[in-house]
Structure 1
């Protein structure tokens, strides 16, 4: 795994991406705290999170074609700089006492556009940089940067908000995007223009749909296991901060501890994913990871102290991100690089619709029932992911997707 970091292009991209995701985590806690301070409503927070996700639904289908046609390195640099500018404009409004909920909606909507382009671009760029036999290790590092960077960013953000305020957290957020853009821009990369750039957008887009039509097992796997990501970016983005504030009376610092330990678990998943897949087989390991994640979500509101809940989050991060590494690797193995952007963004549309639905339902549940009921709802996401593994395994022609040949690495 560490041999990949000897590649200067991969290393600079990896560091830039990780720093960018720390910024995303800082942004998440800053916005969440602003909403709850202004409205006190979990449903309102759910609506804000939905507004951040809607651009992905509107743009994602065509974003895949853009990603597959453009120089992915410079597209990421541009998106980092644009997101930095958006944060600085919003921060200026806060400093000038011009904040309104409408300005917040506009900011998260514009940030959603940048995020919906950046993340699938990064995934496709990695596949372009490494050889097939390096997919697992590259994906382990990338997934660790996604989960650890964004979740630790949120954890750090909780402490920054608690001690220094939202404005400081947003200023650091803007700085992370600048640093990320500089690092990625310095990565040596020779772009070769693809021969299909004159192809009609609709024709190019249909290649992604045709791939799924011809590979229904991959589609089933994607539609179900993505719900584990939806649990984190959907329901839990609303519930965790409320759990810390109302169940454990720990405010933003408790949120920081919970998210921080989830991120630490995600970091160590780079080790567990390889060991677990080799010992149990990828399909069995995935099933175990999703079941443990569901249990950790279910029990997390029932402790007497926030630190114990944070340890439940640590085990959730460890197992959920281990599963994520295995699933991302499976997709790299199954999907040709030339259509990876389109395939990623087709799934991205589904993911974002699911996230929008999840955050609004979770906000409504917590506001009208309880945090425990909300976390029961979260657990169902992981149960559906486990059901997807079982379904693919039970259909003989799809089974090879998740059951590796004897002697294969992870």
Structure 2
């Protein structure tokens, strides 16, 4: 009898463990509001790409719009990180969400009035990039407060689970949003996608305002901004684990992640489809990313994530190369699923390792450099992808960028041993690793 009950209880406990960050009320509110808003965000991303390609038919201009939407983040994120370490993070996020809603409604009004041009799209994309420069590091740093019950440091396992659940939420929206966008675009046009997105921000603003945030000790703002900026940069460049992870992540963002920019070309020219095909491709990528995020949510420890970063970069690059070779819709959808899995596995694993290691007083600044690596390198990647597609064609462009991602995974593997040697004592001090005398087999499996 006891033998029968024990495995069942263990199985139930495992599933409860996978959702443990939701026991925090603030994170539950955030999770609910963002789940609604992010569907609209993904609808806007697909609608913008399709609108640009419909108006211009230019792969290069797809890259230009991507550049305009991301270059402000590259230029401003470090300064935004200093402000995130100084300001009330919840209030900052309320303002970024309100402004993002205004941006989407402006896109909707111009598109529905049939007066929008490529110039307005570029300008409004740049405005969204300006918002993101503050929103993304603020959001990443605020995760810590949402899984804290006071001024103390959060449970590191709850933080890792919150990051995984946040990634699951993003990718559930990534799955639903593009498919819904394809239907809406085909039925009534791109403008309604922008309108839905604009109103969806109400949900996340309400969720933020409903949170009860414990009063934290005042953050010191006495040091000049440039001095704090230099301090954050010195920490990032002087701490090998974070430096190495961010370097790989920047390469993947530069070479690999702009594949999204070229998806309208694959949907229309390579696979001979329309907006539905574009929605299916992006939805397939979302399925893979969602599976990845859920698999991370079921993890009980952050151990093993550095090895995961290496493997996911290789999977991401290889899948991009093969996708560039495919001319079959079903095969392309399968490969997009693998692309999404590799991309999200590396992104969430990198985020979790960095958030676990970084001290609280530098969190905003470090996450601003994470934002630079994630979003800030993408504008240059968008221009590069657009230029390569213009010169060699979209399939060859994807194969070239995928090859660079594979090379990055190989480089990272040469740094793994030294990274683990530095991380392990920190994990022991945190209690993540129970003893320095753990079985050697765990070390060989990449326990750090």
Relative to the length of structure 2, the TM-score reads 0.83
Cα deviation code 1:93-146 (max 9, x no counterpart): 223333222211111111111122112111101123332232221111122233
Q: In structure 2, what is the Cα distance between the partners aligned to 1:287 and 1:275?
A: 20
Q: Is the 8 A contact 1:20 1:80 kept in 2?
A: no
The residue aligned with 1:134 is 158
How many angstroms does 1:318 deviate by? 2.0
Q: Could you list the per-position Cα deviations for residues 292-351 of structure 1 after superposition, in whole angstroms to 9, with x for gaps in the alignment? A: 222211112434432321121112222321222221111012111221111121343354
* Counterpart for residue 332 of structure 2: 309
The change in CA–CA distance for 1:349 and 1:283 in structure 2 (over 3 A counts) is closer
1:339 is matched with 362
CA contact (8 A) 1:25 1:155 kept: no
C-alpha contact 1:72 1:121 (8 A) present in aligned 2: yes
**Distance in 2 of aligned mates of 1:309 and 1:260:** 12
Describe how 1:1-400 pairs up with structure 2 within 5 A.
Answer: 1-130=18-147, 131-150=155-174, 152-231=176-255, 233-234=257-258, 236-273=259-296, 281-395=304-418, 400=423
Alpha-carbon distance in 2 for matches of 1:279, 1:94: 45
- Which structure 1 segments of 5+ residues have no match? none
CA 1:346/1:255 → structure 2, altered by over 3 Å: closer, same or farther?
same
CA–CA distance in structure 1, aligned partners of residues 393 and 256 of structure 2: 18
Q: Distance in 2 between matches of 1:168 and 1:297?
A: 31
d(CA) in 1 for partners of 2:217, 2:290 = 35
Provide the rounded CA distance (Å) in 1 between the counterparts of 2:183 and 2:255. 23
**C-alpha displacement at 1:14, in angstroms?**
1.9
Which stretch has the larger CA shift, 266-275 or 78-87?
266-275
Q: Deviations along 1:365-404, whole A, 9 cap, x unmatched? A: 1122122211112313432441343132143675636998
Mapped partners of 1:273, 1:32: distance in 2: 30
Q: TM-score, normalised by structure 1?
A: 0.91
The 1-side partners of 2:419 and 2:334 are apart by 38
Q: 1 CA distance for matches of 2:21 and 2:417?
A: 36
Shift in Å at residue 274 of structure 1? 6.3
Note closer, same or farther for the CA distance 1:94–1:392 as it changes in structure 2 (3 Å cut). Answer: same
Contact 1:230 1:381 in 2 (8 A): no
Contact 1:156 1:260 in 2 (8 A): no
Distance 1:384 1:225 in 2: 13
Root-mean-square deviation (CA), in Å? Answer: 2.7
Matched residue count: 409
Q: Matches of 1:370 and 1:213 in 2, distance apart? A: 37
CA distance 1:346–1:322, change in 2 (3 Å): closer
Task: Kindly provide the CA deviation profile for residues 162-199 of structure 1, in whole angstroms up to 9, marking residues without a partner as x.
Answer: 22210111111112212221122212223425230333
Q: Which runs of 4+ in 1 moved over 6 A?
A: 274-280, 401-404, 407-410
**Aligned-partner Cα distance in 2 for 1:97–1:262:** 31
Q: How far apart are residue 27 of structure 1 and its match? A: 1.5
Distance 1:121 1:53, change over 3 A: same
Q: Mark the CA change 1:143 to 1:274 in structure 2 (over 3 Å): closer, same or farther.
A: closer
